[in-house]
Every structure is written in C-alpha cells, then in structure tokens.
Amino acid sequence: MDVPKVQSKPLAQNRKASHDYTIEDTVEAGIVLQGTEIKSIRRGSANLKDAYARVYNGEMYVYNMHIAPYEEGNRFNHEPLRNRKLLLKRKEIDKLLGVTKEKGYALIPLKLYIKHGYCKVLIGVAKGKRDYDKRHALKEKEAKRDVERAMKQRY
C-alpha cells in the first residue's frame, strides 16, 4: 500500500491566534471525524477562528471548530459545530492539563492539515496577550518592515 506524501499546506489556519496569544509550545494531535467531515475539510471548508481545546473526563476535545456541511452529503451530513475528540497519548494530555491549570494559559488549535493520509491538528499552548503587548508586537513588526524596505531600496 502506498503512503501518500505529507501535505505541507494547511487546510485551515487560525491567523488571529498569533495576534491574540503568545504561543509557547505546540503539540500535534489526530482528530476523530465523521464521514463527510473529512471531505469538507479537504475542500477547505473548515474554520478555526473561535476554536479552543479542553480536557474533559480525561480526554481532549476541540470546541467551536466549524466544519461546513458537505454539499453532496444528503442525510448523512454532520453537525458543523459539534465537539470533536483529539487523539493524544495519556502523558501528553496530563502535561497539557497541568499547563492549562495555570492562570492565563489556553489550548488553541493553530492549523488543520493532512499528514500521511490522516487529518491532524496543531494545538498551541498559548498565553493571552494584553493590549499593550499587542501594540508592542505591531510596532516591532512595522519597524522590521521599514528596515526591510530600506534594505531593498539600497540594493
């Protein structure tokens, strides 16, 4: 059996996460999907904007991840905002649970992609930024852009 190549391009990405949070660590997790969900994800109809992960009864779930219904799915279609179980090892779940017990930390899905034929989610251990942190990050980004622009004009 041929194993498909790794798909490097994310099918869904949470762009707002790096603006609202400081990402300190990442963990790759598998995700349990229903039949039409993977077809919809492969089309690029997934949204991670307001999604977050949480440990419930010793298992990790992702909440508020929107996967649009598959048009050709008829009555076997899935519910768009259902909670989806993440596949992680017990040690990883316990480690992430310990981190999230600290004040200000959250588990945020960053990317959704296909790897070796399986759908994976990149979960980030994130700490919320304050408004002044966001302003500081924007100033740094703007300064870096100005330096690059000046270097480009010089050469």
**Domain ranges for the chain:** 12-129
| Cα separation, 55 vs 126, whole angstroms | 15
Residues 6+ apart with CB under 8 A from 59: 85, 86, 93
More confident residue, 73 or 65: 65
Average pLDDT score over residue span 10-36: 85
No. of H helices and E strands in the chain? 4, 9
pLDDT in tens, 75-98: 777 777 888 899 999 999 989 888
φ/ψ of 19, rounded to 5, equals -80, -40
| Cα separation, 61 vs 113, whole angstroms | 17
pLDDT (0 to 100) of residue 1? 43
Question: If pLDDT is split at 50, 70 and 90, which confidence band does 3 have?
Answer: very low
pLDDT (0 to 100) of residue 127? 85
**Is 69 within 8 Å of 40 (Cβ atoms)?**
yes
12-129 belongs to CATH 3.30.930.10: no
